[in-house]
Structures are given as structure tokens and as C-alpha cells.
């Protein structure tokens, strides 16, 4: 067997096809379409209307070098396809070459059977020719092939190459006598997928070990070709060949591409099949080849052909309203002009009063929607002919994006505290996972195809990348104040992502009198207050009751109606050691959607107070492990007239015993019915002292 595409697998040839640059014979095109344009003028027109084209000369014969776009390979990579485009550009109707040859009395189906056993073979067409004479090709045929970059071999191979260049359909030629008989005493060609470990020897005597998905052409005994890629040695045509089988098939482009890549075997045929050729082209191409072989190698063409179809052709119908053309193109275009251009391009049309039903030809597999059709009309009219008109469109402001505005509001507020915004990757590494507790590891979402071990999982928290930021920036400064608004990802009952805003405060030196934790707490509480969120709208609880307790060793959690809003805390020492960070560090992470819902919640407003306030201060010494939120709650529950209580001083060390801290609160008392007397305020203070002593506090 001879596969025409196996003869053009040369380094120079394939480097041209990486750019999809193809050579076309100017004189050949002129035979297919009658035109007067010179080679340079034709190249100019093709550049304007199809693809960049240059003119070269070989032995005084003009050659067109056309750089086709990938979406036009299926229909324009042949001389017939390019001639069809030239006809449309020149406003001429295109007529296909008529196939004329004489058939013998013997029937093809009496000698040959085709069996398709794989869905990757969409169509398989075969003809038989008896008593051919393998010899050198005539001069005109050699010149045509050489002009297009192919080397002449013999009349059979050259005829197949010529038919491929004419139609764009890769063609195959088998030696009939080398094909095995089946039980019915017929030669049988079987298209199937390879068996595991099966091998084939190609025409270049190169052996390939195949995988199960690779598509083969076989007889009853052996593989005879790699379908759509390269011919096999077992059925090659040689000088003694007299009986041949012509094959014109259509294979699945994705399968051919995969096989070609797995075997490292790129050919002209595989390249063409990868671009999804029209299945109907196989019938026309095999008849063209039969006609040409009879012309250059004589022989008897057996009557009829075998046409095994293994796919259904689906023609798409695209409705396009006439009113939409001007809106899409930007300029008015006549309805009759639209119809004329589309008919020149081979589209089938059904005209209605207000719209057009457009059916693209099967060879135009790049046309899928109305915009594609309208673009073709604009292309054929000429982009250089497009009038220069200013766009006419009503400018409408985009809909208000409350979530985006809320994020910007938070960013602006955090910047007033001299925090700098950072943008980190949403991925974490295998080493990041290993340091996590099991309850966090189970939450991780794994990437299906990670680039490396550094980017294996979607981040479940902002903490990891913040610690990396601190390590990198501690080389240049002793203080870090970063924040980020981004997404975290984790499993619950299904994949889930949440938008959070997180921050980190860090400094190399620890200052006991000014712990960063309270500064971070003040930033968050100040933000909540600025958003109009009252302290009664949320509660503070120990962080130990949350999942964050396995990554933060000390801290507090904010809750809204038993739903976690966010946390503030100190990263555990194992994390600091892991990321080689020393110093004082505090981290927070707040859920943004829960926060915006809290901000937008309905609130009741009270009138301004009519009576003056009474202000007192209280200082106390208490254990450090007792939450300030609990102390504030104790104070508020103890007094009837207490309007507000604020912490204004924290002190540790000095005369304060180890493990304890000194706290000072600012208390505001007020009644809505009268002016409070000093004695009444003193009674309220006594109630507060008693409640604090029960908590273990020492009043100073």
C-alpha cells in the first residue's frame, strides 16, 4: 500500500505547516477559475479577503504562498477550495470539475468488502482498478507536484498526491494482491482500533508499538496502515503491482491528533484530518483519483464503489433577522446584497419576510452561529470597503454592584489604619497541607491537574500566604501591616468558596505594654462601628470552640446568632517555625457576605437623650485568660442605668502579678426618665464591683 501523505513527511515541509502556509499553482487555479488577474494582483486580493498571500516563481511558473488561518484549513487547503474562494471574491459562480471515466463490467463489490468496527471511522469509500501500469509520471503531473512542494515518485503515487492537492482529501492506494481473503473469498478491509501491544511496520520500515485507542486499517490477518497517518509496508504498491484498491476515508480528527502525538508521527494527512474534513468529500475525491489513474496508468475501473457510512451528517440552520445585520456590522447593507454574497460562498438560503434561514455547506465547519455568517458577508464585501461611521449606541451606566462597593469601602477604611493591600495566589502546596490538623486537611480541595507540588490545593485560609509575606518582608522592615480581600475554598457537603477579608499585623520585637492583638481587635471593632453595626448585633466567644483553634493558639471569635462571622488570633508556634518567622504576629479573617448582611440588616433608631449622663471609671486586676468580652458582659448585666462601657487601658507587668492584667473601663450611666443623682450612680457602681469580684477581679 502507498499512503500519499507518508511521502511528504519532511522537516522543511512540516515547519511550513506549523504556520499553515501552503503552496498553490497559479496556472492550476487559472484552469479551475477563468480570471484575468496577474499573480501579484491575485495575491493582493487573497490577502484582503482571505489570508496573507505572497508570490514566488519556480522555473518561470508563478506559485502562491498562502498563510491560511486554522479555521479555514478544512475547506480552503486545496486548489478546488481556493478556487471556490477566488470565484466568490471575483463575483463569479463556481463550477466543480466534472468526473468522466469508463467503468468495466466487473463489479467492485464482487471482489472487495469493507467492515467498520470503530466509531472513529466516519466514512470509508473504496474502488478497484485492474491491470494498471506502474511507471514514471508525465511531465505536466511532475511539474504540478513540484510546484506545490512534493517530490514525484511514480504515476500511481503522483496521481494520489495530485488528487489530494486538488480536493484536500488524503487518499490511499493498496496493492490488491497483498490483501488477505476472508471466508467468502473476498478481499476484506477492516477498520478497527489496535489491540494492546500490537505493532505495525510503516513504509519507511519503522516499527511502532500501538495503544488500544489507535485506529488501524487491517485485513483479516494483519494491520496494513495507521489510519489517517501513514501507510504500512504489508500492502505497499511496488513496480510489480497490477491490481490496486483506492481508498478515500474520513476519520475522527481528535483521535488522529491523539495518535499522531502519542507516536510522534506528524504527516500532511494527519494535519488535514485534525481539522475535520467534510465526509462527503471522500466520494468526490476517490472518483477524481480513479479518473486520473486511468489517464496516466491505464487500467480497468471496476463498476461501482463501496461506500460505508458510519456517521450522520447534521446540517445546522441559522435564522438571522434582517434588522440585526446593521446592528452587528455597524453599517447598512442591502438585503439582496446579503443573499448574493452568501450564495457565492455556497450557503443554502430560505428567505422569509423579516429573516433569512441560512444553512452553511458541510465543508464550512467554522460556521456555527449568526455572527459567523454575518462576518462572512462583511469579509466578502471587503474590510477595506467598510465605511467610517461613528458607533451609535445608547450609553447606559452599569447596574450598581453593592458587593464591589462594599469591598471598596472596607479597603478605604483599612487604609486609614495604614494597612497595605496584598494579592496572593489562591493555591497552597503539599508542604502547607502536611502541617495542618486532620480537620483542616479533610477540607482541602485538590486540583485535578496541578502544575507542581507548590500549587496542589485551593487555599482554605489566608493565613499561609500571609506568613510567607511576613517572612519575605521582614528582610526589609521590622513592622508589617497587610490585608487582603479574596476567596477561600473548602469542602462541606460539596465544594464551597467564601469571600473573606483577612489581615496580619507583625513586628520583630514584642512590646508587652502595647500588644498587637488589642490593636487588631480595635481595628475590627472600629470597622464594625463605622459600618453601623452595634455591639449588641454580635457576640464574642472563645476561639477554642471553632475550627480555627487548630491553627490559632489564642484569640477570639465573632458570632452573629450562633453563626461564625470571623476570628482574631495568634498563629500557633508550629506555623511560625514552619515559615521561619519570629516576633509578634496577629491574624484575622472575617466572612464578607455575613458582614454585608449584618450591615444591611434593619435597625431601630432612638431619639437623642433628654437627660445628662453620669461618667465613672473603674480599674481592676484580673486573670489574663478571662475574655474582655465576658468582663464587659458582666458589667452590663450588673447595672440598670449603664448606657455604655469602653475599655481604655490595658497594663501588664510592673506591680501587676504574673498571669494577670490591669484593665480600666470608661462607664456611662443615663436614665431616659430623669437626671441620675450621685447616690443612684454609686449604687450602680457597687453592683458592678460585686459582680466583678465574683468573676475573680480585684478592684483598684
Distance CA 227, CA 600 (A): 65
Q: Are 639 and 688 in contact (CB under 8 A)?
A: yes
Q: Is 395 within the bounds of a domain?
A: no
What percentage of residues in the chain have a pLDDT greater than 90? 60
At residue 104, does pLDDT exceed 70? yes
Q: Are 26 and 39 in contact (CB under 8 A)?
A: yes
Tell me what pLDDT residue 6 has.
33
At residue 241, does pLDDT exceed 80? yes
Domain count, the chain: 4
Q: The domain containing residue 563 runs over which residues?
A: 402-599
Same domain, 528 and 661: no
Same domain, 160 and 91: yes
**Secondary element (H or E) of residue 516:** helix 516-530
Q: Are 681 and 602 in contact (CB under 8 A)?
A: no
Tell me what pLDDT residue 604 has.
67
pLDDT confidence bin for 101, thresholds 50/70/90: very high
Tell me what pLDDT residue 9 has.
34
Query: Mean pLDDT throughout 165-169?
Result: 96
At residue 302, does pLDDT exceed 90? yes
Q: Are 293 and 99 in contact (CB under 8 A)?
A: no
E strand map for 572-609: 584-591
Q: What is the pTM of this model?
A: 0.61
Distance CA 214, CA 347 (A): 36
pLDDT digits (tens, 9 = 90+) for 488-513: 998 875 668 899 999 999 998 877 66
pLDDT digits (tens, 9 = 90+) for 512-558: 666 888 889 889 988 988 888 887 788 888 888 888 988 998 888 99
Same domain, 270 and 209: yes
Cell 480497468 belongs to 300
Same domain, 178 and 294: yes
Question: HEC profile for 368-384?
Answer: CCHHHHHHHHHHHHCHH
Given 574, 599, 624, which residue is the final one in a domain? 599
The domain that contains 461 carries what CATH number? 3.30.930.10
Given 313, 332, 366, which residue is the final one in a domain? 313
Same domain, 222 and 166: yes
At residue 139, does pLDDT exceed 70? yes
The domain that contains 626 carries what CATH number? 3.30.70.380
Q: Is 209 within the bounds of a domain?
A: yes
Same domain, 333 and 439: no
Same domain, 307 and 323: no
pLDDT confidence bin for 83, thresholds 50/70/90: very high
Q: In this structure, are strands 563-571 and 479-491 parallel, antiparallel, or unpaired?
A: unpaired
pLDDT confidence bin for 603, thresholds 50/70/90: low
C-alpha cell at 254: 481528535
| Burial profile 384-413: b = 16 or more Cβ within 10 angstroms, e = fewer | eeeeeeeeeeeeeeeeeeeeeebbeebeee
Given 269, 286, 313, which residue is the final one in a domain? 313
Same domain, 455 and 568: yes
What percentage of residues in the chain have a pLDDT greater than 70? 95
pLDDT confidence bin for 633, thresholds 50/70/90: confident
Same domain, 420 and 544: yes
pLDDT digits (tens, 9 = 90+) for 333-384: 999 999 999 999 999 999 999 999 999 999 999 999 999 999 999 999 988 8
Query: Mean pLDDT throughout 644-654?
Result: 81
Same domain, 411 and 438: yes
Tell me what pLDDT residue 600 has.
78
Higher-pLDDT residue of 388, 505: 505
Distance CA 689, CA 675 (A): 23
The domain that contains 123 carries what CATH number? 3.50.40.10
Q: Is 387 within the bounds of a domain?
A: no
Tell me what pLDDT residue 361 has.
94
Distance CA 1, CA 268 (A): 17
Tell me what pLDDT residue 15 has.
35
Same domain, 536 and 630: no
At residue 210, does pLDDT exceed 90? yes
pLDDT confidence bin for 2, thresholds 50/70/90: very low
Summary mean pLDDT of the chain:
89
Q: Out of 40-44, 523-527, 601-605, 680-684, pick the least confident.
A: 601-605
Query: Mean pLDDT throughout 435-456?
Result: 86
At residue 180, does pLDDT exceed 60? yes
Same domain, 303 and 334: no
Q: How many C-beta atoms lie closer than 10 Å to residue 285's C-beta? A: 26
Q: Which residues pair with 247 in a beta bridge?
A: 126, 172
Tell me what pLDDT residue 3 has.
39
At residue 39, does pLDDT exceed 90? yes
Q: Is 475 within the bounds of a domain?
A: yes
Q: Is 213 within the bounds of a domain?
A: yes
Amino acid at each position: 500500500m502507498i499512503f500519499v501523505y507518508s511521502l511528504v513527511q519532511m522537516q522543511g515541509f512540516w515547519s511550513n505547516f506549523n504556520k499553515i502556509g501552503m503552496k498553490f499553482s497559479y496556472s492550476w487555479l487559472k484552469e479551475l477559475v477563468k480570471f484575468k488577474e496577474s499573480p501579484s494582483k491575485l495575491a493582493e486580493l487573497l490577502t484582503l479577503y482571505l489570508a496573507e498571500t505572497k508570490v514566488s516563481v519556480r522555473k518561470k511558473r508563478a506559485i502562491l504562498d498562502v498563510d491560511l488561518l486554522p479555521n479555514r484549513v478544512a475547506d480552503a487547503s486545496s486548489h478546488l477550495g481556493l478556487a471556490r474562494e477566488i470565484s466568490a471574491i471575483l463575483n463569479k459562480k463556481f463550477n466543480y470539475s466534472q468526473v468522466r471515466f469508463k467503468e468495466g463490467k466487473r463489479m467492485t463489490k464482487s471482489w472487495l468488502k469493507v467492515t467498520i468496527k470503530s466509531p472513529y471511522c466516519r466514512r470509508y469509500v473504496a474502488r478497484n482498478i485492474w491491470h494498471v501500469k506502474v511507471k514514471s509520471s508525465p511531465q505536466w503531473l511532475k511539474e504540478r507536484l513540484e510546484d506545490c512542494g512534493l517530490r514525484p515518485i511514480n504515476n500511481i503515487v503522483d496521481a494520489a498526491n495530485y488528487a489530494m492537492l486538488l480536493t484536500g482529501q488524503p487518499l490511499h492506494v493498496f496493492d490488491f494482491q497483498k490483501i488477505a481473503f476472508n471466508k467468502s473469498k473476498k478481499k476484506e478491509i477492516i477498520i478497527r482500533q489496535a489491540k494492546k501491544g500490537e505493532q505495525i511496520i510503516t513504509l519507511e520500515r519503522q516499527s511502532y508499538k500501538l495503544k488500544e485507542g489507535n485506529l488501524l486499517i487491517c485485513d483479516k490477518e494483519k494491520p496494513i496502515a495507521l489510519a489517517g497517518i501513514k501507510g504500512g509496508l504489508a500492502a505497499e504498491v511496488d513496480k510489480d503491482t497490477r491490481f490496486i484498491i483506492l481508498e478515500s476515508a474520513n476519520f475522527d480528527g481528535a483521535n488522529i491528533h491523539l495518535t499522531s502525538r502519542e507516536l510522534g508521527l506528524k504527516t500532511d494527512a494527519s494535519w488535514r484530518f485534525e481539522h475535520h474534513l467534510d465526509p462527503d468529500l471522500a466520494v468526490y475525491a476517490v472518483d477524481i483519483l480513479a479518473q486520473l489513474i486511468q489517464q496516466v496508468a491505464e487500467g480497468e475501473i471496476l463498476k461501482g464503489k463501496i461506500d460505508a457510512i458510519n456517521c450522520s451528517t447534521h446540517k445546522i440552520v441559522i435564522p438571522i433577522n434582517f434588522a440585526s445585520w446593521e446592528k452587528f456590522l455597524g453599517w447598512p447593507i442591502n438585503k439582496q446584497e446579503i443573499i448574493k454574497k452568501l450564495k457565492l460562498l455556497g450557503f443554502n438560503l430560505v428567505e422569509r419576510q423579516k429573516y433569512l434561514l441560512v444553512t452553511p455547506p458541510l465543508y464550512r465547519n467554522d460556521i456555527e452561529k449568526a455572527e459567523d455568517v454575518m462576518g462572512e458577508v462583511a469579509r466578502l464585501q471587503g474590510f477595506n470597503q467598510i465605511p467610517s461611521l461613528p458607533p451609535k449606541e445608547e450609553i447606559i451606566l452599569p447596574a450598581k454592584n453593592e458587593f464591589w462597593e462594599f469591598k471598596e469601602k472596607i479597603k478605604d477604611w483599612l487604609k486609614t489604619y495604614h494597612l497595605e493591600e496584598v494579592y496572593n495566589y489562591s493555591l497552597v502546596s503539599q508542604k502547607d497541607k502536611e502541617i495542618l490538623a486532620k480537620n483542616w486537611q479533610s477540607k482541602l480541595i485538590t486540583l485535578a491537574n496541578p502544575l507542581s507540588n507548590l500549587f496542589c490545593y485551593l487555599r482554605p485560609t489566608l493565613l499561609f500566604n500571609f506568613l510567607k509575606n511576613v517572612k519575605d518582608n521582614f528582610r526589609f522592615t521590622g513592622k508589617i501591616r497587610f490585608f487582603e480581600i479574596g476567596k477561600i475554598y473548602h469542602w462541606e457537603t460539596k465544594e464551597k468558596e467564601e469571600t473573606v477579608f483577612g489581615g496580619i499585623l507583625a513586628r520583630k520585637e514584642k512590646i508587652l505594654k502595647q500588644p498587637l492583638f488589642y490593636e487588631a481587635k480595635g481595628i475590627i471593632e472600629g470597622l464594625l462601628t463605622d459600618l453601623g453595626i452595634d455591639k449588641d448585633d454580635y457576640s464574642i466567644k472563645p476561639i477554642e470552640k471553632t475550627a480555627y483553634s487548630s491553627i490559632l493558639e489564642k484569640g477570639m471569635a465573632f458570632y452573629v446568632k450562633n453563626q461564625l462571622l470571623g476570628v482574631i488570633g495568634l498563629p500557633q508556634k508550629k506555623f511560625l517555625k514552619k515559615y521561619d518567622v519570629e516576633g509578634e504576629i496577629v491574624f484575622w479573617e472575617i466572612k464578607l457576605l455575613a458582614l454585608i448582611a449584618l450591615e444591611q440588616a434593619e435597625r431601630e433608631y432612638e431619639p437623642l437623650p433628654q437627660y445628662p449622663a453620669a461618667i465613672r471609671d473603674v480599674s481592676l486586676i484580673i486573670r489574663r485568660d478571662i475574655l474582655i468580652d465576658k468582663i464587659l458582659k458582666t458589667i452590663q448585666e450588673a447595672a440598670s442605668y449603664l448606657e455604655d462601657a469602653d475599655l481604655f487601658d490595658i497594663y501588664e507587668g510592673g506591680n501587676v502579678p504574673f498571669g494577670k492584667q490591669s484593665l480600666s473601663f470608661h462607664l456611662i450611666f443615663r436614665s431616659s426618665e430623669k437626671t441620675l443623682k450621685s447616690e443612684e450612680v454609686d449604687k450602680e457602681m457597687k453592683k458592678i464591683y460585686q459582680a466583678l469580684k465574683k468573676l475573680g477581679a480585684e478592684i483598684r
